[in-house]
Amino acid sequence: CVMPVSVRTCHSQDVGCRYRFAHRQTPIIAWILNLKCVTFLFFLCPPSLYHHVPVCPSDAKEIVLKAQILAGGRGKGVFDSGLKGGVHLTKDPAVVGELANKMLGFNLTTKQTPKDGVKVKTVMVAEALDISRETYFAILMDRSCNGPVMVGSPQGGMDIEEVAASTPELIFKEVIDIFEGVRDEQALRMAANLGFKGPLQRQAADQIKRLYDLFLKVDATQVEVNPLGETPEGQVVCFDAKINFDDNAEFRQKAVFAMDDMTESDPTETEAAKWDLKYIGLDGNIACFVNGAGLAMATCDIIDLHGGKPANFLDLGGGVKERQVYEAFKLLTADPKVEAILVNIFGGIVNCAIIANGITKACRELELKVPLVVRLEGTNVHEAKRILSESGLPITAADNLDDAAKKAVAAIKK
């Protein structure tokens, strides 16, 4: 059912997707689209960094090269090689190798990458199809609707964020009933709102329904196609796609998760994941050690409220073991930006005594050299406080979150 577009061979099928919530790149989006017979663009990718001159279709009228990194805004990005733009078009096959050599092995900086950019290890090469019109289409989970919604705009492409901000009336939504799925009239209405007319409206509606089937089949939390384009020959094609998968569905999606590519992941985040820790690095200097995502975000907010800057988001989770506490401290103290550590634990299912034992062990073995502020509340809190007070370690106790944040900020200013 897949309608490939002119490319004869494919070493690696990849359209620069973002994988899971950790945004890991994976070479399977084309394979996934194929599961539900979605019309997409075939392409070539050099199989490794050392294949500096990708093969390209010799009969192509125009060729497109696209740097493969897990970040948006590539078209407006800049390479440290001096090349501007992570997406290039050329009608000269001889230039393909030259352009690829200016991308492969160099860092590409966009509005979504770290300031030093991300090293490009793969470049997608494909025949450039004429796109007579670009639209945007996505299916994602919406908390306000307690389920999936379709989001679309007749103006797709690189500036979709600007479209949403400046002309919100061009963003259309359709709530999907999880028991009925995408109804025919919904798909046709969305296709019409995207500007597809005549036979193309029915073709686009069919692609929309197939994309929703795909959304369910692979346990996605987001399927985004930008652009969902229209060719002069009258074909609706998914030219680029991004898919987020639900981590909780790993047991069902073994084929997908087996292809997890960690090469672009932050090393600290990768190490944290080994210990079931949710870690996201930030730009501040006060490390946060918290249980629960909501409490972790609140802790970051209140540090900022009192004039400090959080160095990270770290969610310890519920089933805590002393080793996790130790490994978490090891990660936090390895960050050279960290000038203080704030521990904020509300023990419901978490045993505060386990936290306290883990803290004292970590402080001794890691020879902690930055101020440590600890706020504990909940299960076994009195035992936990006794462990900390009798440890002889320079630990500052706090009565509540507000007090803890103030003391952490003050410790840095001393």
CA 232-238-243 angle, 5° bins: 165
Does the annotation list 240 as a binding residue? yes
Does the annotation list 73 as a binding residue? yes
Write down the catalytic residue from 224, 264, 269, 339.
224
Quote the tokens at residue 332.
Answer: 């936090």
**Active-site annotation holds for 136:** yes
Does the annotation list 75 as a binding residue? yes
Write down the catalytic residue from 19, 136, 212, 326.
136
Does the annotation list 348 as a binding residue? yes
Pairwise CA distance, residues 181 & 371, whole Å = 54
- Report helix, strand and coil shares of the chain as percent, to nearest 5: 35, 25, 45
Does the annotation list 226 as a binding residue? yes
With tokens 């346990």, the residue in question is: 219
Does the annotation list 291 as a binding residue? yes
**Active-site annotation holds for 326:** no
Residues 27, 31, 33, 35: what is their CA dihedral angle, to the nearest 10 degrees?
Answer: -150
Q: Is 395 helix (H, G, I), strand (E, B) or coil?
A: strand
Beta bridge partners of 209: none
Report DSSP state, residue 176.
P
CB 282 within 8 A of CB 311: yes
* Three-state secondary structure string covering 313-374: EEECCCCCCHHHHHHHHHHHHCCCCCCEEEEEEEECCCCHHHHHHHHHHHHHHCCCCCCEEE
CB 314 within 8 A of CB 289: yes
CB 28 within 8 A of CB 34: no
Q: Is 150 helix (H, G, I), strand (E, B) or coil?
A: strand
Helices (H), 18-168: 29-35, 93-103, 160-166
Q: Is the dihedral of CA 164, 165, 168, 173 positive or negative?
A: positive
Backbone angles phi, psi at 107, to 5 degrees: -85, 135
Beta bridge partners of 319: none
Q: Is 174 helix (H, G, I), strand (E, B) or coil?
A: strand
Does the annotation list 357 as a binding residue? no
Q: Is 271 helix (H, G, I), strand (E, B) or coil?
A: helix
The count of other CB atoms within 10 Å of the CB of residue 204 is 25
Q: How many helices (H) and strands (E) does the chain have?
A: 12, 18
CB 123 within 8 A of CB 68: yes
CA 192-194-199 angle, 5° bins: 50
CB 372 within 8 A of CB 363: yes
Indicate the annotated binding residues: 73-75, 129, 226, 240, 291, 348-350
Indicate the annotated binding residues for GTP: 73-75, 129
Indicate the annotated binding residues for Mg(2+): 226, 240
Q: Active-site residue numbers?
A: 136, 224
